[in-house]
């Protein structure tokens, strides 16, 4: 059987996670990778076991007969790299955020549609099995009407003023940092599970470290912890480390989300509490295999991730029996399973089950409105 040929562009933190997940799916071959620094590209390819390394993205697209490209570079490069691939007739899986502006994202949505190509955004957190289970339980009426949603996404990898990354630079990350980086996952999961639309936002941001110490050499995500702070320069920071956003939903009810990248001890913690007219769901990504179900007139329940206890619609994103815990790396495998069914077919299905460029555009729009609300200190309609 002919293998699907894939390239991964950007091999810092998340690129290798894509490669590992792709290798867990049959009949896919990662044939090439892109890394912009010529001196390191070959060594990275050797470490990752990829035959062909390129420091020139256009050359890779020209020379390799690719079916699909994964864009895993800093945010500002998502738009040009996804666009180049689509123009060459290559399917694209893009990291979030899809682009850095709404206009760019709109262009990508239109281009992918006009070319009839598979277009996906790696909103992998949707693929925690309990998230699919909550969505299905809500669809089947177990939650009832959504009364309120409270969510947070907390991290600590930017806690110290010596923590530094390209995400702190608006020309690479976009106008927002924490909201674009992790708030996008949180709001995507909220709308995905509830099927509600956020209609209005009221945001308040803080920049905890108003200056940071920038190392004089590049630092990949999370690797900053291993560096000795030796050669730094002080740089002003003007994007948010922390944000709280009040939300109004299209069912007339309300919610609130808080994101922080300076919350000591919180490593990568997405937490949700969805209160409905029948029960409450509470779930946290740091204990991803357990769903707390709150009841007013009966004992509360704790549902463990177990395909035999799940709704049939949620079983498809579970690979192991109960007690054999699945986590973050499994989410990418599950999302790629659904995306690559379409890549194999050569075109997107009529109703893709995975997040597409339109979902990426939706998050950019929300992010735009949230930034606007913070600046105006007012409610903004989406």
CA 197 to chain centre: 18
Q: Which residues contact 113 (CB under 8 A, 6 or more apart)?
A: none
Residue closer to ligand NAD, measured from CB, 87 or 220? 220
Residue closer to ligand NAD, measured from CB, 121 or 193? 121
Through-space distance between the first and last CA atoms of the chain, rounded to whole angstroms: 47
Write b or e for each residue in 344-372: b if 16 or more Cβ atoms lie within 10 A of its Cβ, otherwise e: eeeebeeebbbbbbbbbbbbbebbbbbbe
Choice from 12, 151, 215, 355 touching ligand NAD (CB under 6 A) = 12
Longest CA–CA span in the chain (Å) reads 64
Q: Is 92 helix (H, G, I), strand (E, B) or coil?
A: strand
Q: Does 74 bind ligand NAD (CB under 6 A)?
A: yes
Q: Does 239 bind ligand NAD (CB under 6 A)?
A: no
The minimum distance between CB 357 and ligand NAD, in angstroms, equals 15
Residue closer to ligand NAD, measured from CB, 121 or 146? 121
Local structure of residue 122 (DSSP, 8 states) = -
The minimum distance between CB 146 and ligand NAD, in angstroms, equals 25
Choice from 10, 129, 288, 348 touching ligand NAD (CB under 6 A) = 10
Q: Does 96 bind ligand NAD (CB under 6 A)?
A: yes
Rounded Cα gap, residues 352 and 338, in angstroms: 8
Q: How many CB atoms within 10 Å of residue 234?
A: 9
Total residues at interface with ligand NAD (CB under 6 A)? 21
Find where tokens 């939300």 sit.
247
The H-assigned helical ranges of the chain are 14-22, 38-48, 57-63, 78-87, 102-115, 129-139, 170-173, 178, 184-194, 312-315, 328-345, 357-376
Q: Does 176 bind ligand NAD (CB under 6 A)?
A: no
The minimum distance between CB 105 and ligand NAD, in angstroms, equals 13
List residues bridging with 235 in a β-sheet. 212
Choice from 83, 122, 209, 305 touching ligand NAD (CB under 6 A) = 122
Strands 4-9 and 68-71 turn out to be: parallel
The minimum distance between CB 173 and ligand NAD, in angstroms, equals 8
Q: Does 183 bind ligand NAD (CB under 6 A)?
A: no
Choice from 60, 61, 86, 95 touching ligand NAD (CB under 6 A) = 95
Choice from 4, 8, 21, 35 touching ligand NAD (CB under 6 A) = 35
| Structure tokens, 90 | 């290559």
Q: Does 368 bind ligand NAD (CB under 6 A)?
A: no
Residue closer to ligand NAD, measured from CB, 166 or 232? 166
The minimum distance between CB 124 and ligand NAD, in angstroms, equals 5
Rounded Cα gap, residues 43 and 353, in angstroms: 37
Q: Does 13 bind ligand NAD (CB under 6 A)?
A: yes
Residue closer to ligand NAD, measured from CB, 77 or 317? 77
Q: Is 24 helix (H, G, I), strand (E, B) or coil?
A: coil
> Minimal CB distance to ligand NAD: which residue?
12
**Is the distance from CB of 262 to CB of 228 less than 8 angstroms?**
no
The minimum distance between CB 15 and ligand NAD, in angstroms, equals 6
Choice from 119, 124, 155, 176 touching ligand NAD (CB under 6 A) = 124
Please identify, among the stretches 66-74, 84-92, 109-117, 310-318, the one whose residues bind ligand NAD according to the rule CB under 6 A: 66-74
Find where tokens 């894509």 sit.
18
Q: Does 163 bind ligand NAD (CB under 6 A)?
A: no
Interface residues toward ligand NAD, by CB under 6 A: 10-15, 35-36, 72-75, 77, 95-96, 122, 124, 166, 181, 220-221
């Amino acid at each position: 059987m002919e293998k699907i040929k894939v390239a991964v562009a950007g091999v810092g933190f998340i690129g290798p996670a894509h490669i590992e997940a792709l290798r867990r799916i049959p009949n896919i071959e990662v044939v090439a990778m892109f890394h912009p620094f010529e001196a390191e590209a070959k060594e990275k390819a050797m470490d990752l076991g990829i035959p062909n390394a390129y420091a020139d993205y256009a050359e890779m697209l020209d020379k390799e007969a690719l079916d699909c490209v994964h864009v895993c570079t800093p945010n500002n490069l998502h738009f040009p790299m996804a666009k180049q691939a689509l123009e060459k007739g290559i399917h694209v899986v893009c990291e979030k955020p899809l682009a850095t502006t709404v206009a760019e994202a709109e262009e990508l949505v239109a281009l992918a549609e006009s070319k009839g190509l598979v277009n996906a955004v790696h909103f992998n957190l949707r693929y925690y099995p309990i998230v699919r289970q909550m969505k299905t339980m809500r669809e089947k009426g177990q939650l009832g009407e959504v009364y309120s949603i409270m969510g947070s996404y907390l991290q600590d990898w930017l806690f110290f003023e010596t923590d530094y990354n390209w995400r702190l630079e608006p020309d690479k990350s976009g106008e927002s940092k924490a909201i674009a980086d992790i708030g996008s996952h949180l709001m995507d999961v909220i709308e995905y599970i509830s099927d509600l639309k956020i209609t209005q936002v009221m945001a308040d941001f803080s920049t905890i470290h108003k200056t940071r110490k920038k190392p004089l050499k590049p630092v990949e995500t999370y690797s900053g912890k291993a560096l000795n702070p030796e050669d730094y320069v002080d740089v002003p920071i003007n994007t948010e480390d922390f944000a709280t956003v009040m939300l109004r939903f299209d069912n007339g009810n309300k919610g609130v989300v808080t994101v922080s990248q300076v919350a000591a001890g919180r490593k990568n913690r997405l937490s949700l509490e969805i209160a409905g007219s029948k029960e409450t769901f509470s779930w946290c990504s740091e204990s991803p295999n357990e769903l707390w179900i709150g009841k007013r007139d009966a004992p509360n329940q704790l549902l463990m991730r177990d395909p035999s206890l799940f709704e049939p619609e949620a079983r498809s994103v579970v690979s192991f029996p109960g007690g054999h815990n699945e986590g973050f790396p499994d989410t990418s495998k599950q999302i790629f399973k659904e995306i690559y069914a379409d890549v194999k077919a050569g075109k997107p299905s009529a109703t893709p089950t995975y997040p597409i460029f339109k979902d990426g555009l939706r998050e950019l729009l929300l992010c735009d409105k949230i930034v606007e609300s913070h600046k105006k200190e007012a409610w903004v309609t989406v």
